[in-house]
């Protein structure tokens, strides 16, 4: 295995020291800022998802380093976050706050930004969120580098799309054509995932309306009075009634 260059080692070291924060540019490097982004939905556990996403981003970073080298990058950071892709990114939330810092540092340093994103929906599929990202990135050359799986061969590849082009397609200012297959794929999968999530939301709402009350009943005026269906005795506590039925009527008992 070839020995890593100083620039490669520095890129990895910076990421591991500050995995989710991109610091101000203090070096003389000439390459872009690189920030690795991964998103997941909010279930089952926020903490578990964060740890899993960080591990995933470390893997993506290593693949990216093998594919592109260090790119003489000035800084490398991780932004793992937990949120549905169809939900709008909060203006004062973690993701937009960190990206704003990245873009401002890039302006100060006079360099571009590469956002390495795990999956077509690894950042957002919310149009207003894309608008906000474009606004805070004004004056910066931003590349969205999606790390995605090819459905034909099952392998993962990096696909580059300029932020201005992605935003232009969503605004229908430009058209994604065969001349730019990565932009064409972005438009296809962004809108496809967005539509699927929206349809799932409608189905989930319909399902909730049909079934969410399955264990809910209107309380009667005497809801604090619980009557034994076997002997008619009345109790003020459901737990006492349950114990009574188990002891007096051998209900819920494992004994024969």
Per-residue pLDDT of the chain (256 residues; tens, 9 = 90+): 444 433 333 332 333 334 444 555 455 567 899 999 999 876 556 667 778 888 888 889 889 989 998 777 766 688 999 888 888 999 999 999 999 999 999 999 999 999 999 999 899 989 999 999 999 999 999 999 999 988 778 889 999 999 999 999 888 888 888 888 899 888 888 888 878 877 765 655 655 555 555 445 555 555 567 777 778 888 877 778 778 877 887 654 444 4
Considering only CA atoms, which of 115, 126, 114, 196 is closest in space to residue 167? 126
pTM passes above 0.85: no
Whose tokens are 């890039």? That residue is: 106
Distance CA 240, CA 238 (A): 5
Specify whether the CB–CB gap between 140 and 106 falls below 8 A.
yes
- Cα dihedral sign, 18-21-22-25: negative
Specify whether the CB–CB gap between 121 and 193 falls below 8 A.
yes
């Amino acid at each position: 295995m070839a020995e890593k260059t100083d620039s490669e080692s520095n890129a990895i070291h910076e990421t591991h020291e500050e995995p989710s924060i991109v610091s101000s540019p203090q070096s003389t490097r000439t390459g872009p800022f690189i920030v690795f982004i991964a998103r997941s939905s909010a279930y089952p556990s926020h903490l578990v998802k964060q740890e899993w996403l960080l591990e995933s981003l470390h893997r993506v970073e290593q693949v990216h380093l093998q594919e592109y080298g260090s790119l003489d990058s000035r800084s490398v950071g991780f932004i793992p976050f937990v949120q549905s892709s169809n939900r709008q990114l909060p203006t004062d939330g973690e993701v937009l706050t960190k990206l704003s810092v990245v873009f401002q540092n890039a302006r100060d340093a006079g360099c571009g930004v590469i956002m390495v994103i795990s999956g077509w929906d690894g950042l957002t599929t919310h149009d207003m969120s894309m608008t906000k990202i474009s606004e805070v990135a004004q004056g910066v050359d931003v590349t969205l580098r999606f790390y995605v799986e090819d459905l034909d061969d099952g392998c993962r590849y990096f696909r580059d799309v300029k932020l201005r082009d992605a935003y232009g397609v969503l605004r229908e200012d430009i058209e994604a054509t065969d001349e730019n297959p990565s932009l064409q794929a972005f438009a296809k999968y962004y809108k496809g995932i967005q539509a699927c999530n929206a349809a799932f939301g409608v189905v989930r709402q319909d399902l909730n309306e049909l079934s969410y009350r399955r264990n809910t009943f209107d309380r009667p005026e005497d809801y604090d009075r619980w009557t034994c269906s076997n002997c008619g005795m009345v109790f003020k506590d459901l737990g006492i009634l349950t114990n009574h039925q188990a002891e007096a009527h051998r209900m819920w008992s494992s004994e024969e």
